[in-house]
Structure 1
């Protein structure tokens, strides 16, 4: 059934961009996205550069690399659990409450990592505590991006939903840029200084973003679509059950769409830092510099691709971006293996800024549009985070394992990217076009 509009804030039409609630939602979602990816980027970069020495000393180079990325992957195991818990909570009690809690949990865990004792001080308890905080970080992050994209899609004008829903994901690039910009100069420091206390600084700086994000979110109003459900008594008491009964097809579609976007994103932004440093042999500052360049590009390309999806459609844009990612894989890793700083920066900038963001720009609105209003938050959260386990969560670990198995050859890494990209490419042929969909509709897109 169509839920009648009872809120004074419009949910469709280009006039919505004048609504101050939309502007507040945009700032709220963007700051949260920045914090989430700042946290994950500093963890991923620290994993590549310092964690082996601080928390896993004595292990060989290859085994140590596998160990630190196994710990990295633990955060992705916790994310779907957080998506289950907080997604259902968001569909039953509203988006705002969940977004306040998730940003505090996520940022607080990162701040605590900066206070951890190292293995030389606490022995085996050091990596145990690191893993525990990584679990908490992932649990909070499990519903953060789902909440941001759901909130913005429900606030945005229908005709420009792709553009507005993509804007909070610029916060992802800002967060990654902040993290990598911090580690570029840190990675160039003498190891005694970096391993002594300087590595803690990026984690401790999370406190600033936490305060800002919580303050802004406490002032946020609930999304118009959820208000309509609440005022008409249509809020689901069991959104997870509704999702599993009515949305299995669209959940599997979400999994397929995420393989190339999420998996290759982490291969380029996290694993490549270790690859070009430990295998290719370039300076430790080159990888973070390349990711910083990609993040700068993303500030422009994400909203650009979101706007493009409003014109050409979500599915065609996603399909061509996935195909480009597959075709780019072989030259990408071949060029990175040359050790040229310029080529490494260009490859990672194109890989993330064009290929990954071509899919992400469309995905921001597409995932929210796939699911009905009564279980949308749960659907987006579970779809994003369960797929992230097999896409982004294991990507650095599998990449390290491939290097170990094939004597540091680059071609298995390219083949891995091609497989992920083709899964997504073929998934687009069973994905419904959702551009312009009414987000008050309780039914899924078909």
Structure 2
């Protein structure tokens, strides 16, 4: 795939409509109507996308007059992205196609407190093993089967590693987004106008030192891996690609995570906060609310904020630090140095086995966010929420209702919400959205 071909904003706009079209595809006439471009401009763009392998014909649609319309759809297998969730105690890496469908997954235990050197070495090792294992499997992306995800585990390594590949099914599944769905708007511009630049990484790009592998080692993927999105606990600087004083792990402060991983892996790397990545992954889903708070309760507590269809990070990536909101002035000391933070109170209640109390505390924090930003919805996720979804959703909902706040509350994040969102840090710019941080 020739990534520079996507520099035109019009091509990006058309590509995103192909992504959000249903399995039935979308015709050139419909593309012209929805973009405001001329049919000639659409034909030129779609011809280029087809020549680059990004789009393909998906049959014909019956016409009410004249010849049947040819419909087009995205080719999800034209490229891939890696999403990495570096949590305090676990590392999840997954591979997605251009439509964001997960095609392979690995997980292993890590300890953030071991320091950057061994942990980042593990990340690089997992990314290489993920892509090599997927290429060797001979199983390529498919999402044709509706309903809940049904992964079939195939152990490819010993110990705690788990490698999963989807069963193949005919044709990719790309959900349809209504025309009113939220998302960044790109106005039509002349074909010659400069557009956002998405750099192409040459095949000769420097990579990490890798020990010689046997001739029987797995081959390469049939399409390029466009980059690696990494999501980890904050605070961090998403522009510089550098973490701050991660609560409980001050040794990570100022470490050049993005640059070091790019050197080790040999691919562009984007770094962002775990909650921001998850929020981005939810924002690109069909019919996502225009503004919401994704509240994540796992090894820590934080929130990802989406306003007007785009993540709100703040200049210092400080937006959404919900867990360190003080709710009890004389409360217990938090690892951040404060007292009575939402995170320390919520985690302590969970440790005591009082999930209902934890949900009430979480609801108090969610209510503050709703009042401050007037958001449309509160979405919950994280391993502790997923362990008792009805308790947490019901508890937060009850607190908001008691305060007269009408924002709906639901559990939206699944086990891989952060890792999938991390992959979207790479994919979103290709479709003109996401306001993703730059890659190294």
What band does the TM-score fall into relative to the shorter chain? under 0.3
Higher helix share: 1
Q: TM-score, normalised by structure 2?
A: 0.26
Higher strand share: 2
TM-score normalized by the length of structure 1: 0.26
Which of 1 and 2 has higher RCO (CA within 8 Å, sep 6+)?
1
- Between structure 1 and structure 2, the one with the greater Rg is 2
